[in-house]
Amino acid sequence: MSEPQTSAPAEWRVVLNDEGQYSIWWTDRELPGGWRAEGTSGSRERCLTRVEEVWTDPRPAGLRRRTAEGASAVGGCVAEAVGRQARRVPGAAAVRGDGFALSFGRLEAESNRWARYLRSLGVGRGTLVGVLLGRGAELHAVTLGVWKAGAGCLPLDPEFPAARLRALLAATGARVLVSEVAYGPDGAWGQVRYVDDPEVRGALARHSDEPLAGAPDPEDVAYVTEVPAAAGRPLAVAVTHRGLAHHVTAAAEELTGAGDGGTAVFASVASELAATGLWAPLCAGQRVLLAPQALDLAELGEWLAAAAAFAFLILAPSHIELLARQLGDVGSAALAGVFVVAGGEPGPAAARLAGLLGPGRLRTAYGTAETSYGTLLNPARPGADTRLRVLDGACLPVPDGAVGELYVAGPGVARGYVGRAALTARRFVPDPYGPAGTRMHRTGQPARRTAAGEVRLLGRTDRQLWVRGHRADPAETEEALYDHPSVGEAVVIGVHAAPGDVRLAAYVVPRPGAQGLDAAALAAHCGRRLPGHLVPASVTLLDEVPRDADGRVERAALPGPYGRDGQSGQGGRGGPDGSGGRASPRPRAFLGGCGLAELLAAHRVPGACVAVLEDGALVAVEAAGSDGAGRPITPRTAFPVGKLSLHVAALGALRLVDEGLLAPDAEVGRAGDTPVTLADLLGGRRADAGAAPLPALLEDATGEAFGPLMRRLVLGPLGLDDSCFGGPPPRTKGRTGAPAARVGHDAAGRPLDGARRAMDDPAKLWTTAADLAEVALEVRRSVLGAPLALLGRDTAARMRDALGSGTEFGYEAASPGHYAASVLSPRTGRGLVVLANGRAGDRVREEVAVRLVRVRQLAEGHRTVGDGTWRNPLDSQEGNETIGT
């Protein structure tokens, strides 16, 4: 299998606009207008490392100059729009809630006092203030006061656990926290001021209610909002005043024309869905009705009906189903002029409500903090002010009807991710179709533009879903469960608890020997670490997670109130089976069910499992023999794979390189006078000469234990639930009856009594043939630049170089008494994985490879070429290729 490399990986360059915002762009593509090269070019990771070094101040250059000069800021923010309404209708109701009512005039005066008070604490431009308040009288006044003082606001939910609150405040650099005594975080933390503290109330009364000079700059940060990452620690998005005002004023124009009753807010004020309801009515001179913090959703319909009618209501699908049960369809339709369904797919009640309301009065929307909460109607109408692009992997438009990735341009594009310059540069890229120097946001969502110009969203390609009005990632809940010392395996999925109501359901396998583990304790464990929407609604203890032959979770076989119907919420890697949109047929037997057993007997190998890959997909898995302890080998038997652990460790390390957290050429040790780099470790070069092992290096870089880190970076995103570092995935009474092939054998088939020792090294991988095949396929997808691959194409090239030649990559390795091999051709997508519990497994692999050639010849002899003629495989050079020989 030797063939010249036909195409070199694309090179990149660091670019920036006149505002000093950085990104990366192809070296062979013309730069979009308003962007210039910074001077650094090469691989993607090299460019992102450079961005991390030089982009230390994410503020636009114009804002930095205005701040340095001390010039008064110009208008263009929500606080200014609310102030205009206060001057126009000072006595009109602005905010009402449980036991209080604020007119526009009083709201303006109170916010001015808060602005002056915060200034006296040193709050000003460039600082961030945490706002931890319930739906009470101070919420709007404090937030407006923060903005008028020149600072940004970090909205926090009182229902978040204290540990989460402290982590958010520390990660975002918030200097001051404004809260209520009932909600303040435990322990000492920075400057905390309580709105119900008599001393604070007295200080506020001593300040003037006259406005401060100037107004917030449109490019200053208005909100910093937490959003889930693809896996792991959440991100924090910085939304500017310009972006927030653009969305809120557009929403006010579009939604408040159906009446003058404003809206009601009864969900979390810290969610991405909150901004529209909190501010759009005020910008139009209408009221905001805040639900009591302790409102029971069983009383939601009655509470809304008592205050109706509203100009608009923003509802999650579960809210509409709830209101239909409480008020009936007709009663629900009478609540508002316009209904916006956000945070999930509408259910049956929404369809009935739309029929009652008539055209245009029920709308579905999708918005995120990265687009300043901008409402993206689905389908999006042509000509909308928010510019939507459906582009391919090279940022070129796809034809109408074709599937591409959704990009969002326009004034709603956020500043970026706080403290994540490299990730911001990757996700906020130059807009070649907009005004000079502007950016667009890569959403990562597949979409299609119709011939009529509508943009239709096509679901998600990651595991994110909407739970109780929050964008959530089940991986966060899984990580919290893995933190429990008695949890051996955890699977969390989105399920439909009721029509339109997606919740998280957790399924947990205890560690061997764990005593006294119960579902309530696990839920409480999650509750101490996670916000309420990430705490699983159900926890079920299992002996083993049921899986099909592909190794994927069999949702229909899961016990408990949510698993029997097999329904799942949004999420998964692209499709309901989690395949990410890639076809993954059920693997079939390829040697007739007995050929593998004959090979094992001939070469004195007690047991083995073989996975076959064709055309970039896993097409066959076959197992035979015994694990050495009297149990049969099955496709789900885990084997130790020795140095093949490097496949996963390298994939995880390069994900951190892609994110800008590691630099491949940075020195990590020395071999005498010669520096040792991360690239040396990935390639196995000088790994024992003065450098820390790769697992130790990754632990130092992230502060996470190696096993959970690899679960977050690789095993979880790829769905490799039959793989585990440090030992095989624990199974107590597994359906397969063969949890792991722990007993190794020598070349004569004799068991090695000492082979069990040192098998639980935290850096060593136990895995199945199917899982290891998926790792190889993911490397191929990344090398080929496939959409939504775990690695960028340039980064993946480093892994390919480390693991093999230019035309194939692979590795052979052996733990004591075991054998493992994995090889794949990126060009053809053909490969082979062999795992055996006998040292003679290499001879089994050689014969399997030879037999595969014959199987392919027979199969291809029944295919036709494009002109309808038959092709003889023996006349084709490709037909004589072998895998791994």
What are the φ/ψ torsions at residue 814 (nearest 5 degrees)? -150, 130
Question: What integer pLDDT is reported at residue 866 of this predicted model?
Answer: 37
* Closest residue by Cα to residue 107 from 288, 292, 250, 307: 288
The rounded percent of the chain whose pLDDT value lies above 70 is 81
- Give pLDDT tens digits for 114-135: 999 999 999 998 899 999 999 9
Please enumerate in sequence order all residues whose Cβ is within 8 A of that of 619, keeping only pairs 6 or more positions apart, or say none: 585, 587, 588, 590, 612, 613
- The stretch 457-465 carries a mean pLDDT of 75
pLDDT class of 285 with cuts at 50, 70, 90: very high
Distances (CA, A) of 108 to 30, 153, 269: 49, 18, 20
* Closest residue by Cα to residue 361 from 386, 381, 336: 336
Q: pLDDT higher for 868 or 329?
A: 329
Tokens of 553: 């979770």
- Give pLDDT tens digits for 286-298: 999 999 988 888 8
pLDDT class of 663 with cuts at 50, 70, 90: confident
Question: What integer pLDDT is reported at residue 728 of this predicted model?
Answer: 78
Question: What integer pLDDT is reported at residue 499 of this predicted model?
Answer: 65
Q: CA 434 to CA 427: how far, in whole Å?
A: 17
Residue 92, pLDDT above cutoff 90? yes
Phi-psi map region of 495: left, alpha, beta (phi>0 left; psi -120 to 50 alpha)? beta
Q: CA 544 to CA 526: how far, in whole Å?
A: 21
pTM exceeds 0.75: no
Residue 53, pLDDT above cutoff 70? yes
Question: Do the strands 376-377 and 362-366 form a parallel or antiparallel pair, or are they unpaired?
Answer: antiparallel
Residue 42 pairs in a beta bridge with 12
Residue 567, pLDDT above cutoff 70? no
Distances (CA, A) of 736 to 75, 609, 634, 637, 790: 67, 14, 7, 8, 30
- Give pLDDT tens digits for 380-420: 554 455 588 899 888 999 888 888 889 999 989 999 999 99
Question: What integer pLDDT is reported at residue 415 of this predicted model?
Answer: 95
> Could you tell me if 448 and 390 are in contact, meaning their C-beta atoms sit under 8 angstroms apart?
yes
Distances (CA, A) of 731 to 355, 385, 482, 709: 51, 54, 15, 21
Give me the chain's average pLDDT, please: 80
- Give pLDDT tens digits for 523-542: 888 988 888 889 998 898 88
Q: CA 701 to CA 713: how far, in whole Å?
A: 14
Residue 884, pLDDT above cutoff 90? no
